[in-house]
Structure formats: C-alpha cells, structure tokens
Chain A
C-alpha cells in the first residue's frame, strides 16, 4: 500500500504498535523472572535458622521431632520421589498408549469426545482425587490388588510388610491417575502435529500403519512427548492434597512401598498451622520448600540434558 520508499514516520510506527507490543510482552516475560527470584529469596532468607543449625545434614537426617527440634528431610524427599516415580512408571505407558490411540487410530469424532473427557479429568480438584483414593482406591487395593501382588512379587523388598491401605503405593497410584490426563492431552496434540508427509513417506515404503506410528510418528514427536511427561512429573512432585490423604503421613523411610510415608508438600501443608512465625519448626518447613524447589529444578535440568543429548545423538 505504501507507495514511497521512505521509512515510516514516528506516528506511523507508533500506530503500528511495535514499541508498545515490545514493552508489554517484555514486561510479561520479566514478571516470570521476578517471581522466581522473589520466591527463591524468601525461601532462602526464611530458612536461615535450620540451615545454620543442621547444614547439609538436613538432607540426610531422618528423625522428625518438632518438640525436641530435631529435623531431617530424608523421609519427605524419599516419599516425594518414590510416589512420583511410581506415578510415572504407571502413567507414561498408559498415557502414551491412550494418546497414540486418540491421535492415530480412533475416528476423529470419538477422539475429540474422549479428549474432552480427559481434559475434564485434568481439571478435577485434587481433593476429589484424594476422596477417590480413600473411598475407592484404597479398599480395592486392600481387598484385591495388593494381596495378588504380594502373592506373586512378595519376595521383592518393595512388596513386604503389612499393608494398611494408606501407603506410598496408594499415593503413587492416585498420582498416576491424576497425571495421565496431562500426558494424554499434550502428547495427543504433539502426535497430531506430526506432518502428514512423514506418515505418507513411511506408508509409501510399505510400512504398516503400526510401523509408521511406532517407528516414524512417535520418534518424530519424542521430544514433545518427553515435555508432556516432565510437565506431569512436575505436577506429581508438588501434589499436596491427594497425596496427604492416602500416603499415611508417617515420616519414615521404608524399603516397602506398602508402608506409609510422607511427602514434602504434604508435611508443609499439615504442620504449617502448628508453627509460629520465625520459629525453628516453621523455618524448617520453609527449608523443605526450598528442597522441593531444588528437586524440581534438578529433575527438570536432567530432563533437559537428556533431551539435548538425544537430539545430539540423532543429529
């Protein structure tokens, strides 16, 4: 439309909105950095007392006695990591299988309807999942699943000891149910975004439709699928309500998944109300928050490296 070759005048440029858009989006982006920095600052300064008192030993100590002011984070770290790992172990195959079905095999209408349902599941409040755990999952585990598992795998250390319903195992399964929708809905979108020409290239070479899916479409989407898994893992690590309702809230490290445990998020939520401002107990809980933050950063960092090395290997 512009007929002259001269550059537009300042009013024209302002009307075009470039500087405004630049400033606004830049502010939005720096907001994220500011939040992260503030969070870290408060977690750090708020936990000065226990950091001076226990040092690195806090991470490996396993006693938890608020009265005697003896604190160790190990049972909580252990419970958090174990429940999340168990959840991933169950949720990744189920979620990926479901995403492949929805993206590649199901008729489009059914796929959209099912995806809508799955996204509804992702929006269910976690306290509801906690109730589901108490009233539905734990009884089923107690009467059916755990006796069967113990009968077959009872020789393994992770399936030994009595089972009272609330346990690391139950928490892991509830978490798995909660994160499956994340994996499914994100992975499905990513699989659908794989260019059609990749599928056609494989099919035209005589690959069956499953070979095309498994050897071409899924590898193409792998980075994105990993992304969905880490999103789910982040949710599992920080999940509070549902976990505290079924994990048993007992600060112990047990090799058996059937024993009760505790998680970082759960202990912060449960004990915060009992503490007074600035007291050792409260500062310990803040330090646990710092540990959870660090745990998330480390796991995500490792995941990034994993993806980068995969890409590098593939070149």
Chain B
C-alpha cells in the first residue's frame, strides 16, 4: 500500500530502494506454455543503458494473432521493451539485457539475430523508407534474406503492398521514389516492407505519431486486417488508439510494467491507481 503511493510520484520512484521491491523470484512451476496461444513471453526482463536501468523485471505474455498495446508516458521504457524483442536494442553500445524473452518457447537471446529479425518485423516511429523506388523498398528484405527463389519477387511485392493497403495508391508508380509519397503512405510502405518477409510478429513503435488523423485511421484499419495473419505488438502514446485497436494492453511507468490486462478491463476497471490516473489524464 505504501509502495503504491510511493511510486505514484515519478521523482520518488527513481530512488534506488524502489528497485528492490520490484522483481519477485521466478514463478514456481515452469509451465508458462500451458496456453498454446502464447507467442511471446518476457520473463523478468531488465535492461540497462550503461548504469541506467531502463526496464525493471518486465514479465508479460503476448498472445498469438492478437494486438497487444503498450502505453505509458514518454521515457517509461515501452519502446525499449519493444526494441529488445527483435534485439535491435543491441545496436546501441553499452546496453545490457537480463532475463528472458521467448518466441514460441525459444529464448531469443540465444537465437541467430538475423533469423530472429526475419521472424519479428518492426515498424518505426518515423517512416524510414530507403531512398529507393517503392518496389525496391518492399523487395529489400526479400533480397537480403534470399527468399526470392520461391515466388517471383514482383508477386511478393504486390502481395505485401496489398496487405499494407497501399497497392491501389502506388500500383502505377512502383518505380518512383518512395520519398515522394506522403508521410502516411511512407509508413504503410514501411509496413509493407516489414510484411514482405512474412514475419510472425510485427512490432510497431508509435507508428502513427508522425501522422495526421486520417492516415492514422488507415493504419489502425490495417492493423485489424493484419491481426488474422500475425501477432502485433504496438507501442503508442495515444490511449484512444490502444483502446480502439488492442486486445491486451500493458501500462508502463518508469521502466516497470504497472498493469497488464485485457484492454477493456484496463480502460474500464484498472486495478492500479497509477493506471487509472494515467488513462484518465491526471498525468503523463
């Protein structure tokens, strides 16, 4: 009870003793996969940038072919968590991970990183197409992974652009520069690029933060359509977006997962005071 009041104040919670009461011992009886629809599972994940601990004992389960949203104020660690799932966080020097993330039960930290990233696609906060043609952007992942033997490349590109709901807008200018597209189109192109290698999991890091409401609505529709094909984890600042799109929602605060539940539960009857304060706009 006192701990709850303590961590309500962001300044208070940054003090060292706050770390001590975070991580309980590993759960007794290691049977995390009794439920076969768990696609991803984080277990007591700690993450450090140098001496700074950005994630404190995160444990959560992402269900297969569902949308899981991670919400929380800036700097709360939700993007950091997302970036550990495909180990893109490793590209920053002096970072360290403790704990486990399992993809279909296998520890991702022990996997070959390129094959992990082929299975776990990512879309970033700002649209980041390569300065190449639309076609080449989508084909890139297929080419580097040497997957173009099975199906003709053009077919894969078309299919991916259709899955990203961009085909109708670009089918006549596939060889134009991707940089000539609007921001929303560029972001859907980035989604198409990620989908082209047929990932099992798609990570989206605030994919709509640089987009206007219409482009945002298109991306959200797209997420619904994609849900039947892959597992989606989305980080968002926008609580309405989480409420509209996600099946499960996790609330992060100061590097801790405060609450994780069905989205309707999170938004109607959060069990933690901090979650309630955040989603009702009292801070953050």
Chain A interface (Cβ within 8 Å of chain B)? 107-108, 195, 197-208, 211, 215-216, 219-220, 314-315
Contact = CB atoms under 8 A, between A and B. Distances in A.
A205 B145 contact: yes
B163 interface: no
Contact of A211 (B124, B133, B144): B144
A289 B129 CA distance: 47
Given A206-B117, A207-B114, A201 B175 contact: no
Interface string B128-139: 111111000000
A206 B177 contact: no
B137 to A, nearest CB: 9
B204 to A, nearest CB: 11
B86 A315 contact: no
B144 A197 contact: no
B177 A201 contact: no
B224 interface: no
15 contacts: A198-B130, A199-B91, A204-B122, A204-B124, A204-B194, A205-B193, A205-B194, A206-B115, A206-B141, A206-B144, A207-B114, A207-B140, A207-B141, A208-B114, A215-B140
B121 interface: yes
A307 to B, nearest CB: 14
Nearest to B83: A200
A205 B141 CA distance: 5
A134 to B, nearest CB: 44
Given A108-B93, A215-B144, A205 B121 contact: yes
Interface in B185-221: 190, 193-194, 197
Given A108-B93, A315-B133, A204 B144 contact: no
Contacts of A215: 140, 144
Given A314-B177, A315-B133, A315-B177, A206 B128 contact: no
Contacts of A204: 86, 88, 117, 121-122, 124, 194
Contacts of A195: 128
A201 B130 CA distance: 8
B56 interface: no
B59 to A, nearest CB: 24
B interface majority secondary structure? mixed
Contacts of B130: 198, 201-202, 216, 220
Interface residues of B, number: 29
Nearest to B122: A204
Nearest to B140: A205
A209 to B, nearest CB: 8
Interface string B83-117: 00010100101000000000000000000001101
B176 A201 contact: no
B147 to A, nearest CB: 9
A259 to B, nearest CB: 45
Contact of B117 (A107, A205, A219): A205
Nearest to A198: B128
B104 to A, nearest CB: 17
A197 B206 CA distance: 14
B126 interface: yes
B212 to A, nearest CB: 20
A201 B176 CA distance: 20
A215 B142 CA distance: 13
Contacts of A198: 128, 130
Nearest to A108: B93
A211 B131 CA distance: 16
Contacts of B132: 219, 314
B118 interface: yes
B140 A202 contact: yes
B144 A202 contact: yes
Contact of B88 (A107, A203, A211): A203
A211 B190 CA distance: 19
A101 to B, nearest CB: 16
Contacts of B140: 202, 205, 207, 215
A206 B190 contact: no
A312 to B, nearest CB: 11
The 4 A-B residue pairs with the shortest CB-CB distance, nearest first, are: A205-B141, A206-B118, A197-B128, A204-B122
A302 B40 CA distance: 55
A132 B150 CA distance: 58
Contacts of A202: 130, 140, 144
Contact of A220 (B114, B118, B131): B131
Nearest to B180: A315
B118 A205 contact: yes
B117 A200 contact: no
Interface in B151-183: 175-177
A201 B128 contact: yes
A131 to B, nearest CB: 41
Nearest to A205: B141
A234 to B, nearest CB: 27
A200 B194 contact: no
B124 A206 contact: no
